[in-house]
Structure 1
């Protein structure tokens, strides 16, 4: 197939980026419709193989799948067009919403509106948990990994990277002795020197702003850049999995945000197009606003975006030529299966964490996890969660309209009651 013109590639990926609401499943479905069924730019086998490859990588698999598709069509330029168009529309919306939230978030009506959004977020995370569990929990060992992941993170506060590493090691070990799928192995299509050069270029681009803020003595920005750079390496299992780790760090360790602000951040990220991991931009923006107002907020948001998404281009442009070889390795597939199972437990931790902080006014950190103050239970917020559950799980309404309905309901209740 001849490479399509850049103008057509731009239009197609702009459409995907502007309409990519609803999380990874909806985004991947839209890409399949556009790239496989409508345009015929990828075959079914190529699309599914690329998706499997992206699921092996840290970072947002939908954004990386989009980047891979652009790379396959027109090389690095095509990959840049596809990846940037998938991220930038949502990033622009998050920037505007985040600045509005930082400026007006303390107003009583705004806080009331976000009560409805928080209630919906509790159910959205539960919904994501159920979807992932159906896909990832196939055998007894996967259920054990999920249970251990939950216990380790919720009760013992084991760091997320350690949980992921342990699950990957178990998955790889359990697939020892499985034969390589020879039918998928293909010759290396690029020279090793080219691969090394690609990795060095994108690694340097990733490191450049981190070194810049470190060299200027900007302590806060350096801390921010290093944390989100580390996050970019351990974000296996999608944004919901890493949110628990991010929440623990930015709330309990760094003190950049409150738990309530983290839940609000996720709610706003759910309403925008693009990958859900754009929630990191919102976190960086609020942390920057607290440090130095609007200017620092914008700078922190841009820095967070850079160190979150430049690694995605690094993984794709370096690894994409080897996709057939990588997917033929059974131990890599086993590692991915182990990570997916453990992530179910991690997302369960996140679901319980958010629910406790929405339903109870006071939650303290005890020796074995968060402990709610029973007397601080909010019946009003429990009703909001029940309504959101009925709309999302019962009536199966789309996520964005439900978020809007819950925000309107809570705002109206604040005005009338």
Structure 2
């Protein structure tokens, strides 16, 4: 699997579809660290080591993916696979970025529902919850530090926080209002909403790559209206046929049908990364549909953080617990219900990502200029900071006062959350390290408190 060394001025040899497939399969199993870590890994492997694509072309594709709703690292893999090996290459690259994570999460979800009530597992997950609370606070800090660069954007974040915390407005409405404010603000004060793409520019010198700065756009990546129409048509059919089948067989109110519709909407609202859409998923899956509890959602987020693949794969855990808990196929087929629901929500969550890349890729290849975030997207990202902060406070409430104000304050959980926060924000420790340490500390605390 390791690429052979290349002379500095020698372009790499052509890469076959099967060579690329083996790389995408490997990537699917080692893509830890969230989008930043995954993108850095792809850059290291594809730009620095293998030289399959130049840095400028890599960043050009990345900046486009940053504009889209959905997991940018998975979309970048899809884009690069498509650029190298047409539509089959894009589908393989994007699917193998997700499938290992789906299989691992299905297995972990089954262990969670089967063993979650044992003392050891319960102690481990008790310790994980403070780390998850610290993780969400860290996400709000990270996104805010990158985005909130002037009073306009701070105001949008504050209003978004109050809108969801005090008024309880739904997340899609907050996104729509932020986009409108950004559009108007971009025309009134464009400098206040021009934050840029955030990934810089490629350096002027580099060693030759298989797809280099001046490599002509391959025929399959050239824009044609007929191709655009066919891709959109096929994509809509791949969404409509399963939705129509679910509606016809089960009806609109059935859990599987509602999951398909709900996660389709979630897929179109993931501006700003997985943490941006988590409040919407939490609002619907926990509050509206009751597919799982808030504590289970926190456990699922921890599993998503410690497994390869995009963090938004937490939807597979949500789907599994929803299907399992609702006993969709009867009490004797709980595992089957969980597997079907997890697979279904994964399909509806990631289908739009493939459509965005396969339909929009030729438009991007027409001009190799760095894309920047538009004013509406800048405003949406600012609003996301307030929404994520609300989610962190919600998690903190359930962590520190699990039985309400009258139930007493959980000092042990508070100290563990504080320690996790210091490890993440001050010492910059790895997410997986913090979660594992917190889980072991939780097991120790629970063993001492409840021997």
Q: TM-score, normalized by length of structure 2?
A: 0.84
Q: How does 1:9-408 map to 2 (within 5 A)?
A: 9-176=20-187, 189-217=222-250, 219-292=254-327, 293-323=334-364, 333-363=374-404, 373=405, 375-408=407-440
The aligned residue for residue 5 of structure 2 is none
The aligned residue for residue 181 of structure 1 is none
Structure 2 SS opposite 1:117: helix
Residue by residue over 1:270-307, the C-alpha shift from the partner in whole angstroms, topping out at 9 and shown as x without a partner, is 11000000000100100000111211111111111111
Structure 2 SS opposite 1:175: helix
For 1:119 and 1:389, locate their aligned partners in 2 and report how far apart those are by CA, in whole Å: 9
Structure 1 pair 327/381, CA: closer, same or farther in 2 (3 Å)?
Answer: farther
The offset of 1:243, in angstroms, is 0.8
The aligned residue for residue 367 of structure 1 is none
Structure 1 pair 329/397, CA: closer, same or farther in 2 (3 Å)?
Answer: closer
Structure 2 SS opposite 1:216: helix
User: Which structure shows the bigger proportion of residues in helix conformation?
Assistant: 1
The offset of 1:324, in angstroms, is 5.8
The offset of 1:116, in angstroms, is 0.9
Residue by residue over 1:51-100, the C-alpha shift from the partner in whole angstroms, topping out at 9 and shown as x without a partner, is 22112111111111111111111111111121111111111110000011
Q: Is the 8 A contact 1:176 1:331 kept in 2?
A: no
For 1:6 and 1:330, locate their aligned partners in 2 and report how far apart those are by CA, in whole Å: 29
Question: Rg: which structure is higher?
Answer: 2
For 1:286 and 1:53, locate their aligned partners in 2 and report how far apart those are by CA, in whole Å: 34
The aligned residue for residue 414 of structure 1 is 446
Aligned residues: 402
Q: Runs of 5+ in structure 2 lacking a partner?
A: 1-10, 191-215, 328-333
Residue by residue over 1:223-251, the C-alpha shift from the partner in whole angstroms, topping out at 9 and shown as x without a partner, is 11111111111121111111111111111
Structure 1 pair 314/205, CA: closer, same or farther in 2 (3 Å)?
Answer: same
For 2:380 and 2:142, locate their aligned partners in 1 and report how far apart those are by CA, in whole Å: 15
For 1:358 and 1:267, locate their aligned partners in 2 and report how far apart those are by CA, in whole Å: 14
Q: Is the 8 A contact 2:420 2:434 kept in 1?
A: yes
Structure 1 pair 110/330, CA: closer, same or farther in 2 (3 Å)?
Answer: closer
Q: Runs of 5+ in structure 1 lacking a partner?
A: 179-185, 364-372
Q: Is the 8 A contact 1:67 1:83 kept in 2?
A: yes
Q: Is the 8 A contact 1:53 1:326 kept in 2?
A: no
Q: Is the 8 A contact 2:60 2:370 kept in 1?
A: no
Q: Is the 8 A contact 2:31 2:38 kept in 1?
A: yes
Structure 1 pair 98/236, CA: closer, same or farther in 2 (3 Å)?
Answer: same
Q: TM-score, normalized by length of structure 1?
A: 0.91
Q: Is the 8 A contact 2:29 2:100 kept in 1?
A: yes
The aligned residue for residue 330 of structure 2 is none
